[in-house]
Structure 1
Amino acid sequence: MSITDPHSGKVRFSVVPAAYVYLLRGGEIGAPGGAGVEVLLQLRQNTGFMDDHWAAAAAGHIERWETAAEAIAREAAEEIGVHDVVLDFATSMQRTQRGLEIDERVDFFFTARSWRGEPRIMEGAKCADLRWFALDDLPEAVVPHERFVLDGLRDATLAPLTAHGF
């Protein structure tokens, strides 16, 4: 999808922004192999994108006039029923998945170790399961660009700005 700039007449592409949060417990990031750290993941279903793959427990598109932090607070409440999530910035990712109508994306990834409420499935039509996994023993079927981030967290090698799919 592209838009035409009304001032210059140039055709510009659209970028879709999204925000993600990985709820973490136990261990310490940076420990060898992420030993002892667990991450909460959801099993996607009926979404039309990477169904039957594990992904961040809460994530979604950033709405107009909404910051990434506001978006993830909203998504965490809507998708897993938690509030007052204390966010730590992990990385921003510019990514593409060629062949989609809108294939340019900018994702903001956060981690959290503090929140209010017990995480639970709130959108059963889109989430088949919600489960804690050891960061050093993730399931095979993880959304690829999220696997990149999770591996970087595990290995303590995640840069503040990343790219995927280029």
Structure 2
Amino acid sequence: MTNAVATHGADTRRHKVTVDVHLLLTDGEQVLLGRRAGTGYADGAFHPPSGHLEEGESVVAALIREAEEEVGVRIDPEDVEFAHVMHNSSTGGRVAYFFRVRRWNGEVTNREPHKCDQLSWFPLDALPDDMIEYCRAALDSIDKGVEFSVFGW
């Protein structure tokens, strides 16, 4: 018996998964997307403001924190609407939460120009061609009313 197997026979090794939060900041039928730059991953592709869950943080708290860090807006937790969750195969498996926000305080500003060289509003029915693939798939699912998807497995 290895150290990873408990005496009751269950494998005690746990897969640790990265949790991402994605902000779908919408103004009418438009969504805010940023063009990645200088990150080394999908530079030149559009993607909504997003980030990773930190220890001791809820997904809603992470979304609110990332919104202020990346685009300078303040969001009330009551204005956060669940839109979709995706189990994505990238980098060994991630869980990506997508939340829609229609009301916020402050002006949208690119607060991370070292990671994003452009913020633009796009009609939800005319997204840019150059988008990160899993994000486009999630937005397509949201458009169809699908709340859960698996991507890349």
Q: Normalised by the size of structure 2, how large is the TM-score?
A: 0.88
For 1:162, give the aligned amino acid: S
Report the counterpart of residue 131 of structure 1 in structure 2.
120
Residue ranges of structure 2 left out of the alignment (5+ in a row): none
Count how many residue pairs are aligned between Structure 1 and Structure 2: 146
> Is 1:93 matched up with 2:86?
yes
Hey, what's the Cα distance between the residues in 2 that align with 1:60 and 1:25?
A: 21
- In terms of fraction of residues, the more strand-rich structure is 1
Larger Rg: 2
Hey, what's the Cα distance between the residues in 1 that align with 2:148 and 2:140?
A: 15
Please state how far the C-alpha of 1:9 moved relative to its aligned partner.
Answer: 5.9
Aligned partners of 1:18 and 1:106 also within 8 Å: yes
Hey, what's the Cα distance between the residues in 2 that align with 1:71 and 1:5?
A: 32
Aligned partners of 1:82 and 1:116 also within 8 Å: yes
Report the counterpart of residue 40 of structure 1 in structure 2.
32
Hey, what's the Cα distance between the residues in 2 that align with 1:19 and 1:6?
A: 33
Residue ranges of structure 1 left out of the alignment (5+ in a row): 27-36
Aligned partners of 2:141 and 2:149 also within 8 Å: no
> Is 1:21 matched up with 2:23?
yes
Cα distance, 1:75–1:6 mapped onto 2, change above 3 Å: farther
Match of 1:65 among 56, 62, 66: 56
Report the counterpart of residue 145 of structure 2 in structure 1.
158
> What stretches of structure 1 move > 4 A for 4+ residues in a row?
4-10
Report the counterpart of residue 30 of structure 1 in structure 2.
none
RMSD of aligned alpha carbons:
1.8
